[in-house]
Amino acid sequence: MARSRDEPRCRYGPAVASAGGAQRVTGLWWHGGAMAQKCCLDEIAGKAWRRWRLKRRDAVRFAQLGQVFSARIPEASWLLQVFPRQHVVRNEEDELMTVARAVVVAAGRGRRMAPFHLARPKCLLPLLNEPLLAHLYRALAGAGIAEVTLVVRQADQPLVASVVSEGLAVHWVTANDDGGSGTAAALGLQEIPGDETCLVVEGDVWVDAADLMRLMASLSDNDMAVLVDPLKEEAPHDWIVADVNENQVCGAWGHPREGEWRISGVYVLTPAARQALQQPRRRGVRVPVGGMPHAEYDIAEVINTLLDAGGKVAACRAEKPVMNWDKPWHIYQGNLWALHEWGASHQIDAAPDSVIDASAVIRGPLRVGRGSRIGRGAIIEGPVIVGEKVVIDDYAKVSHAVVGDSSLVSHTAEFLGGVIMENVYLMHNCELYGVLGHSVDIGAGTVCGTLRFDDRETPHRILGRWETPKHGSNATYLGDFSRTGVNVVILPGKHIGPYAVVGPGVVVNRDIEAYTEVLLEQQWTVRKWGPEHYGW
């Protein structure tokens, strides 16, 4: 490869250790500036096989160094095409090793997600009309993970098994959902050889593949790496928070009064961290004075166990939002954020067998799934994603929303924004905004309030605790298989539980529990009336 005279020279070569007659790449020595780094990487592809005659497995490990460099040197992206994509970390002997396995913990009951907690596990909640787990599988595959151990409740396994695994090899472990995320993670890790470093992800997390790769690269000589997300406008007492000093985690705290970094539920565990996970020192995460820990064992507590034993925990700051779907408004927030991200790069995307009527008004990005119809007089204010076999017609209006498969929005119905899951019916002058669960049936004239007289956000009661979300607080949340009669009025921020029925004319001014029927009692005054009242 020709070089100009003023270009820095680069010395490079693999540091090879011999073990049992087989060569093993243990490092790379080189020097020079950014240009020298580029020269080095540009030459490895053609010479890793020929010049050093490495075995395929060792050449792959050697080439994985490019993933660390390619984040800083775009020209090194060829490494991700020439060699299989598995990420590399270093152990105590400075030996290169790949992180190829992950444990996904999805065994919780998801009670804070009410009214969307009974029909499905949280990992199957829809994000842009796909299960959240499908997005996680894609991110894991994109980060080089080859095998996933999925920890679920036994009752949920048939549902979760229906999610396409994006080419990943998936192994199943069933767990008791009362033990907490730490217990479930420890159970899943027992299926992986104890000398392997692996990724552990909570199943209700939406994370980008690039952040997973950065997390694995950040492990270095630490015992554990944690992906942290800035709290920004969120309150620290709503989350498990990391005390971060530069690139190190100094402690994990459960629902503290102060904090800047939220633990996102994504970890890389070395064998030392895995051993610490199997030997918890306390049940819940450490809390400040005056706090009260939960009885369940949370995986975040392994951070404190390692630090108490003199270990080191790396903090990797997420570059894209990492969303934990823990409460109902997270469905709204996650879908709206992803929807606008999609809308920034799309216009009109219609499946070949879909129909958009000439009289429909389309403002903004729109995706229409197979067999769907945007009919006469429909008004679409994008970005909007419409699933398969959906009908929006007869002057109905849909704004900034994700509409699930087989749903019907018709006859001047209006959906002001949010998420409509599968098989939902909105008709006859209704107006709604928020999250509507699977097979919700909205009666004619049902409306929801979106603005309070005091212009404030509505607090929500989650397992007895009042919380006020920054976005989606005034939205309406209707659980799966719920129904309303005609002329129901739903005040801002109210929850209607799954399998609940709200009768005609009811004003919903409080949350309605699951498996409940609410009917309006009327007091009648009955008297005789006829022509005699007109003088006959």
Same domain, 73 and 108: no
Q: Could you tell me the pLDDT band of residue 137, with boundaries at 50, 70 and 90?
A: very high
CB 524 within 8 A of CB 508: no
Residue 534 in domain: no
- Residue 177 pLDDT: 64
Same domain, 36 and 152: no
Q: Could you tell me the pLDDT band of residue 269, with boundaries at 50, 70 and 90?
A: very high
Residue holding tokens 């005789």? 528
For the segment 65-74, what is each residue's pLDDT rounded down to a tens digit?
444 444 434 4
Beta bridge partners of 379: 361, 397
Three-state DSSP string of 156-220? HHHHHCCCCCCCCEEEEEECCCCCCHHHHHHHHHCCCCCCCCEEEEECCEECCHHHHHHHHHCCC
Same domain, 187 and 214: yes
Helices (H) and strands (E) in the chain, counts: 11, 39
CB 187 within 8 A of CB 175: yes
Cβ within 8 Å of residue 380, ≥6 positions away: 360, 361, 362, 363, 364, 366, 374, 392, 397, 398, 399
Residue 92 in domain: no
Same domain, 390 and 485: yes
State the amino acid at position 353 in one-letter form.
Answer: D
- Residue 417 pLDDT: 96
Structure tokens at 92: 């105590």
- Residue 376 pLDDT: 96
Domains in the chain, number: 3
CB 457 within 8 A of CB 415: no
Same domain, 71 and 181: no
Determine phi and psi for 253, rounding to 5 degrees.
-130, 140
For the segment 400-457, what is each residue's pLDDT rounded down to a tens digit?
999 999 999 999 999 999 999 999 999 999 999 999 999 999 999 999 999 999 999 9
Domain at 118, CATH number: 3.90.550.10
Structure tokens at 494: 């109210």
Domain at 476, CATH number: 2.160.10.10
Same domain, 225 and 145: yes
Residue 9 in domain: no
Burial of 283 (0-12, 13-18, 19+ CB in 10 A): middle
Cβ within 8 Å of residue 354, ≥6 positions away: 368, 369, 370, 371, 372, 373, 374
For the segment 240-268, what is each residue's pLDDT rounded down to a tens digit?
999 999 899 999 998 899 999 999 999 99
- Residue 261 pLDDT: 94
- Residue 337 pLDDT: 95
Q: Could you tell me the pLDDT band of residue 285, with boundaries at 50, 70 and 90?
A: confident
Same domain, 261 and 115: yes
Residue 286 in domain: yes
Residue 526 in domain: no
Cα gap 55→63, rounded to integer Å: 12
Domain end marker among 84, 111, 146: 84
| 459 prior amide bond cis, ω within 30 | no
Domain with 420 in it: 329-518
Residue 6 in domain: no
Same domain, 321 and 348: no
Same domain, 176 and 273: yes
SS3 67: helix
- Residue 311 pLDDT: 93
Rg value, the chain, Cα: 28
Choose among 205, 224, 202, 203: nearest CA to 268.
224
- Residue 98 pLDDT: 64
Domain end marker among 326, 361, 377: 326
Same domain, 244 and 360: no
Residue 398 in domain: yes
Choose among 28, 6, 8, 7: nearest CA to 17.
28
Domain end marker among 298, 326, 354: 326
What is the per-residue DSSP string for 102-125? EEEEE----GGGTTSSSSS-GGGS
- 513 has pLDDT over 50: yes
Choose among 160, 150, 154, 224: nearest CA to 187.
150
Least confident segment among 32-36, 210-214, 388-392? 32-36
Following CA atoms 266, 267, 268, 274 in sequence, which dihedral angle do they give, to the nearest 10 degrees? -140
Phi-psi region of 212 (alpha: psi -120 to 50; beta: other; left: phi over 0): alpha
State the amino acid at position 242 in one-letter form.
Answer: A
- The per-residue b/e assignment along 346-358, b for 16 or more CB within 10 angstroms, e otherwise, is eeeebeeebebee
Same domain, 190 and 307: yes
Q: Is the pTM of this model over 0.85?
A: no
Using alpha carbons only, what angle is made at residue 24 by residues 18 and 26, rounded to the nearest 5 degrees?
105
Choose among 278, 279, 250, 282: nearest CA to 263.
250
- Residue 180 pLDDT: 86
Same domain, 18 and 163: no
Residue 74 in domain: yes
- Residue 72 pLDDT: 38
